[in-house]
Amino acid sequence: MLNKDLFYKTIEKFDISVDDEAFNRLDKYAEMLIETNKSFNLTAIKEPDDVTVKHFADCLAIFKYVEIPENAKIIDVGTGAGFPGLVLKLFRPDIQMTFLDSTKKKLGFIENVLNECGVSGEILHMRAEEAAQLSKYREKFDFATARAVAALPVLSEYCLPFVKVGGTFISMKSAESNEEISEGKKAISILGGNIQEDIVFDLVENMPRRIIKIKKNSQTPTKYPRPSAQISKKPIK
Ligand code: SAM
């Protein structure tokens, strides 16, 4: 479960108000994460205080820096055990969230949490580069989010094709990702986007984090995303 005092203290600066109902949903998720993690490896972050800050507060920081309209359609690419997508959804159930991952077991865990919390979401067991070539998903989302999935040149090819023109790809990165970000600029531009804002902030003292907001300005050329092998062998740089 979450460390409640630490949770509220850490998110104080995000200008969001987490009411009791939302807190209880997030707390249930944390409890299930810690419990399930004992028998199935969902996350390397295991201690309640670390889970509180490095998973839950970390993901909620998005709300400070990105305005997410009511009923926004979001795809969380490489969601794993649900970060940031499930935190966003449990805080704001109005969001229409799609949880995408190529690992089925982790998606099963997300489904259990959604059921337990009485909240719905779309579970998508596919590789990003395959799903983004389907008309059902291509350029259909107001936002794509991703944390700890791939370096920016590759990640942009996974994520930008999902985003509508006018929408935003929110990439959560470590603060020390300057090189990766410069390397990603060409891919972002070819895929129809540009970096709108690059925000570095302290999650807690001496724990810097980065949120990159990438605006989608024009349609992604249909040849992207390419098949997996080509993306990894020859990232756009
Ligand atoms: N986003 C979560 C987080 O921050 O805790 C999970 C991060 S985990 C290190 C990376 C996840 O991305 C894994 O669950 C993996 O299966 C998924 N992943 C990597 N490449 C993918 C792809 N091309 N399509 C779908 N999922 C992918």
What are 102-133's pLDDT values in tens digits? 999 999 999 999 999 999 999 999 999 999 99
> Is the minimum distance from the CB of 127 to ligand 1 under 6 angstroms?
yes
> Is the minimum distance from the CB of 102 to ligand 1 under 6 angstroms?
yes
Among 125, 149, 159, name the best residue to mutate to test ligand 1's pocket (greatest count of ligand atoms within 8 A of Cβ): 149
Mean pLDDT across 150-156:
96
Q: Is the pLDDT of residue 91 over 90?
A: yes
> Is the minimum distance from the CB of 54 to ligand 1 under 6 angstroms?
no
Which atom of ligand 1 is least distant from the CA of 85?
A: 1
- Strands (E) in 133-229, as ranges, are 141-147, 163-174, 193-202, 208-216
Q: Mean pLDDT in the chain?
A: 97
Residues 6 or more apart whose CB falls under 8 angstroms from that of 178 comprise none
173 CA distance to ligand 1 middle (Å):
14
Q: Is the pLDDT of residue 177 over 90?
A: no
Identify the burial level of 229 via C-beta atoms within 10 angstroms of its C-beta, where 0-12 means exposed, 13-18 middle and 19 or more buried: exposed
> Is the minimum distance from the CB of 80 to ligand 1 under 6 angstroms?
yes
> Is the minimum distance from the CB of 106 to ligand 1 under 6 angstroms?
yes
> Is the minimum distance from the CB of 149 to ligand 1 under 6 angstroms?
yes
pLDDT number for residue 47:
93
> Is the minimum distance from the CB of 130 to ligand 1 under 6 angstroms?
no
> Is the minimum distance from the CB of 37 to ligand 1 under 6 angstroms?
no
Q: For residues 126, 132, 137 and 143, what is the CA-based torsion angle, rounded to 10 degrees?
A: 100
C-alpha span between 4 and 231 (Å, rounded) = 42
pLDDT number for residue 213:
98
Q: Is the pLDDT of residue 237 over 90?
A: no
Among 99, 100, 101, name the best residue to mutate to test ligand 1's pocket (greatest count of ligand atoms within 8 A of Cβ): 101
Mean pLDDT across 186-211:
96
